[in-house]
Amino acid sequence: MISEDNQTVEKGETALVIGGGPAGLMAAEALAGAGLPVLVADRMPSLARKLLMAGKSGLNLTKAEPLTPMLRAYGESGDWLRPMLRDFGSDQVQAWARGLGQELFIGSTGRVFPRVMKASPLLRAWLRRLDGAGVEVATRWTWQGWDGDRVLFDTPDGPLRLAPTVTVLALGGGSWARLGSDGAWARHLEGVAPFAPSNCGFRRSWSDHMAGHFGAPVKAVTLRAGGRGSRGEFVISRGGIEGGGIYALSAPLREGAALEIDLFPDMGADTLAEKIDRLRKGESAGNRLRKLGLDGVKRALVMELLRPMPAGAELAAALKALPLALEGPQDMDRAISTAGGLTRAALDEGLMLRARPGTFAAGEMLDWDAPTGGYLLTASLATGLWAGRAAARYALSEA
């Protein structure tokens, strides 16, 4: 029913999903599968923009590994996410993607990708399936909170007030505002932990000596911070460092843990010290580092960070634990994801808001933190499905 002032739309039988990213679409699919009319509302002109952006560099769907090691990637949130990832973990994500016509492959590190490497074919197939299930979509609808039990929106046709049976919030975290995820929703809710950048680069002021290496990757190293390790690579940027190896250590680095780089992860310190001792005495530092097998960017990094240059066993120890002081994370909007959001205490076991029965939440707006490598998307899909199923049970019990 639409009121005479065109400002109230009553859709009492409808399940409302606010946010059209992976978590929201998964919730919508669960609700539609339970036989409920579903409306997905998103403030952007089209759905799942962050998913499409992620797919530009190869859509990492999940990590092909059992539940127990997967849960470790989520740190302290692993216990909270356990039942959701048990229901929809790596195997289920792969089966779901294949069900949408995607041929998959597993990389050498266990990461799972569509053969086409892009998100757009998967998303198109998913939206077709949702459309076939009767899911309605409204774009350019900006959620404005509640007025009593009415859900408020600003739309291109003016303000609207909805009265759905259940609502699932899937509004994302606090980064990538241009793709629709800016964390502005937090002002409408209780129990929200402050946002912090995750899977992000970190600031570092370099000397002029490093300018010729901006954009260069530092490959095949092990990074350590706060008791965690990450084998991979990172990139020297004008403003600091970034890349997958660093993203995996975002949490301890964000808290101020010191970063150490092992430039010889496959060689013990004693063996490296013996190799150093065999070098000709009196050679330049750069030439000695070259003979040890370090490429140009690694040599530049050592000479930037080790002043004066030690020798013998001290140099070996330094090359196995090269200290790189950082100046804090880069701006949150540049982060791939964010920590913070709705806390576990604010939600029941079905991800329903304790302060607002009939309203559920899912995806990156929940206070869990995960590295890249498929973990972000897997948990977003899993929590979306979990919240959607719980919302469907609630709606049907209220009927």
Indicate the SS3 state at residue 66: coil
Which residue, 259, 291, 324, sits at the end of a domain?
A: 324
pLDDT at position 285 is 87
Does a structural domain hold residue 185?
yes
Which residue, 304, 324, 344, sits at the end of a domain?
A: 324
pLDDT at position 1 is 35
Residue 275 sits in the same domain as residue 384: no
Tens digits of residue pLDDT in 343-362: 999 999 999 999 999 999 99
Answer whether residue 28 shows pLDDT above 50. yes
- Worst-scoring range by mean pLDDT, 186-190, 199-203, 307-311, 387-391? 307-311
- Residue 82 to residue 159: CA distance in whole angstroms: 40
pLDDT at position 378 is 98
pLDDT at position 399 is 67
CATH number of the structural domain spanning residue 39: 3.50.50.60
Answer whether residue 337 shows pLDDT above 50. yes
pLDDT at position 6 is 47
Using pLDDT thresholds of 50, 70 and 90, give the confidence band for residue 3.
Answer: very low
Does a structural domain hold residue 7?
no
Does a structural domain hold residue 213?
yes
Per-residue pLDDT averaged across 208-237, rounded?
94
pLDDT at position 11 is 56
Residue 296 sits in the same domain as residue 349: no
Residue 139 sits in the same domain as residue 98: yes
- Residue 314 to residue 316: CA distance in whole angstroms: 5
Indicate the SS3 state at residue 294: coil
Alpha helices, DSSP H, located in 209-324:
244-247, 250-254, 269-277, 285-291, 296-305, 312-320
Number of other CB atoms surrounding residue 124 within 10 Å = 12
Using pLDDT thresholds of 50, 70 and 90, give the confidence band for residue 27.
Answer: very high
Residue 38 sits in the same domain as residue 136: yes
Residue 229 sits in the same domain as residue 302: yes
Residue 68 sits in the same domain as residue 190: yes
- Structural domain of 298: 202-324
The pLDDT mean for the chain works out to: 93
User: H or E element: which one contains 160?
Assistant: strand 158-162
Per-residue pLDDT averaged across 50-64, rounded?
89
Per-residue pLDDT averaged across 249-270, rounded?
95
Per-residue pLDDT averaged across 175-195, rounded?
93
pLDDT at position 280 is 81
Residue 50 sits in the same domain as residue 163: yes
pLDDT at position 4 is 39
Cα-based torsion angle of the residue sequence 40, 44, 47, 50 in order, rounded to the nearest 10 degrees: -130
Number of domains in the chain: 2
Answer whether residue 7 shows pLDDT above 70. no
Does a structural domain hold residue 329?
no
Contact (Cβ atoms closer than 8 angstroms) between residue 251 and residue 335: no
Does a structural domain hold residue 89?
yes
Answer whether residue 8 shows pLDDT above 90. no
Percent of the chain, pLDDT > 70? Answer: 96
pLDDT at position 9 is 53
Residue 107 sits in the same domain as residue 140: yes
Per-residue pLDDT averaged across 142-148, rounded?
96
Tens digits of residue pLDDT in 77-120: 999 999 999 999 999 999 999 999 999 999 988 999 999 999 99
Residue 346 sits in the same domain as residue 313: no
Does a structural domain hold residue 4?
no
Does a structural domain hold residue 285?
yes
Does a structural domain hold residue 144?
yes
Which of 20, 21, 2, 18 lies closest to 10, judged by CA?
A: 2
Answer whether residue 5 shows pLDDT above 80. no
- Worst-scoring range by mean pLDDT, 11-15, 159-163, 193-197? 11-15
Which residue, 324, 350, 371, sits at the end of a domain?
A: 324
Residue 177 sits in the same domain as residue 273: no
Residue 224 sits in the same domain as residue 276: yes
Per-residue pLDDT averaged across 133-144, rounded?
97
**DSSP letter (8 states) at residue 56:** T
Residue 31 sits in the same domain as residue 174: yes
Per-residue pLDDT averaged across 269-279, rounded?
93
pLDDT at position 2 is 40
pLDDT at position 368 is 96
